[in-house]
A and B are shown apart, each in its own frame.
Chain A
Amino acid sequence: MADSTEEIHKAIKRIKLIGWVLAVFTVITVGLSYVELPTHTMNIVVGMIVAAFKAALVALIFMHLNHESPLIYKILAFTTAFALALFVLFVFSASDPLVFDSFYESNK
């Protein structure tokens, strides 16, 4: 991370810029949520893409993950993998893609 005075001044500028970008994208998120896309699921997907973009900015710039030690990348990579398992496998086990609706629907 930045250590020399010059670099820190640069960093300050960058931080302020990203702050504005985040604010603008917050407005965009709110606006998009009122647009009626063909399905509500699409609204959710679009909303999550914007949120993921904002989150990436925070993680990369504010948390300076854009240049961090490889060790931390590794830790986070595993964490992300397990978190994904948490998301994907939970949902799949509730509605198995192979038997999809048919089985569960008939039970409703």
Chain B
Amino acid sequence: MDIPYTVTARPDTGLYNAKVGIWLFLASEVMLFGGLFSSYIFLRVGADYHWPVHELDVRLGFVNTLVLIFSSVTVLLAWANLKLRNIGKFKLYMLLTVLCAMTFMVIKSFEYRAKFSHYAVKLTDGTFLTGHLPHGYEIKFGEATQLSFTVQSETAAIDADPDGYVLPFIQGDTPKFKTESGNEIILDKSTFKDLRSASLEAAKAAGKNSGSFKLVAASPLTFQAKPSQILGYTATTMTFRDGTVAQGKLLDDKMTLEVDGVDTRSVPDAEKSIAWGTQYLGDGWKKAFITNRDHAKKEFEEKYPTRDPQKSATHQKEAFYLKIKSSTPPSGEEHGDGHKAEAKAEGHGDDHSAHGHHPEVVLDKKDIAFYSNYTPKLNTYYAIYFTLTGLHGLHVVAGALVLTYFLLFDGKMLRNDPERLANRVEVGGLFWHFVDLVWIFLFPLLYLL
């Protein structure tokens, strides 16, 4: 008893089952990526910031495109050779295809890695500073002696939980605490549980829905946490995300940034950007910016006298997005200096060796509106970039796994029923081409345009 038409085609439809299946699956994939691409359009049309153009590493994207095209050819050659029963060549081409998939993913992961360590800081006036955080960015809060906990009866979504929300940020040795009743304890899951239930019992007796208690540290504590890991802070308190409050003193909330770019496209008057303030980049860089901008303007006017420079996205980028390649501003008034520097080191500081060549600024918290590394959080462009390429990457991995399976584990079928294996390879190949086809659109949309 066998399902009919697994190998041969049904006469009236002219198709074998897997062929129908894969095309249906691809149809749904079209809708999946269709939804993603239409989200891309929707987000881009509605974007209220300057949509990045040529911001990713075009060379890597280009190489990856060629790799995928090559693999599309090899998977077809594998299929053709299997049809011809050239088993050796079939295996060779299959292997090449899988190797291409691996290459693609390796290159992709390098691209991702570089993005993760690169940051953009939005200042309150709309200026973006890009660069690296040599020491990370953490809030330091010290001389803290007292912790106040608020515990809820069970109906609250978030409850005091020092284990997950407070303890991880304490610097130094495991601290000792004194409870209100004078016992000395080490704060962990079990001791906290006791305190919690005692407090809730007291609350219940008093007819309240939530209880609270305080702990006093045996010696002053220092906390260090990323701003996203806590709820907020003032000069004298730090509030954790579970609502626990520490009393003490704010030690440091300044951000040290190695600046490799200043993007003033969203600032009404770029020359007045906070970034040029004396405590930050200062007049030297401002001059460099103005030189670069005027040079770009002149060039644009010479090349395209009839066009409106306001409307040229590339011109706006060249004129108002200053790339910084050295630790001090270029001296003198040479024209086009900024330009030359840019040409020297494409890829604006994605490589770590460039660290020494950037000015360091220490940003006040009050000037920072938002900051993020180059992850989906940064803006909707990077959000859709990571989602699209991530999902595409998943498809590459899935396709490679399937092809590897055909190569390694279908030996029996290769011997007994090569025609059926050829069908499988054909169907796997169709999927593989689809993955290539998606990339053909992804590459220009994300890297080039």
A-side interface residues toward B, CB under 8 Å?
A: 1-3, 5, 8, 11-12, 15-16, 18-19, 22-23, 26, 29-30, 33-34, 36, 38-40, 43-44, 47-48, 50-51, 54-55, 58-59, 62-63, 69, 71-72, 75-76, 79-80, 82-83, 86-87, 90-91, 94-95
Contacts and interface: CB of A to CB of B under 8 A. Distances in A.
Nearest to A1: B426
Contacts of A91: 38, 41-42, 45
A47 B27 CA distance: 24
Given A23-B69, A75-B27, A87-B37, A29 B443 contact: yes
6 A-B pairs closest in CB distance: A33-B448, A83-B34, A19-B73, A79-B27, A69-B14, A40-B313
B69 A76 contact: no
B95 to A, nearest CB: 18
Nearest to A87: B38
Interface stretch (B141-149, B187-195, B433-441): B433-441
Interface residues of B, number: 55
Contacts of B80: 2, 8, 11-12, 15
Interface of B: 13-15, 19-20, 23-24, 27, 30-31, 34-35, 37-38, 41-42, 45-46, 53-54, 58, 62, 65-66, 69-70, 72-73, 76-77, 80, 83-84, 303-304, 307, 311-315, 426, 429-430, 433-434, 436-437, 440-441, 443-445, 448-449
A27 B207 CA distance: 74
A52 B23 CA distance: 20
Contacts of A26: 62, 65-66, 69, 443
Contacts of A5: 84
A16 B73 CA distance: 7
Contacts, number: 134
**Interface secondary structure of B, over-half rule:** helix
**Interface secondary structure of A, over-half rule:** helix
Most A-side CB within 10 Å, residue of B313, B434, B448: B448
A50 B72 CA distance: 18
Contact of A15 (B14, B45, B46, B77): B77
A91 B80 CA distance: 43
A90 B42 contact: yes
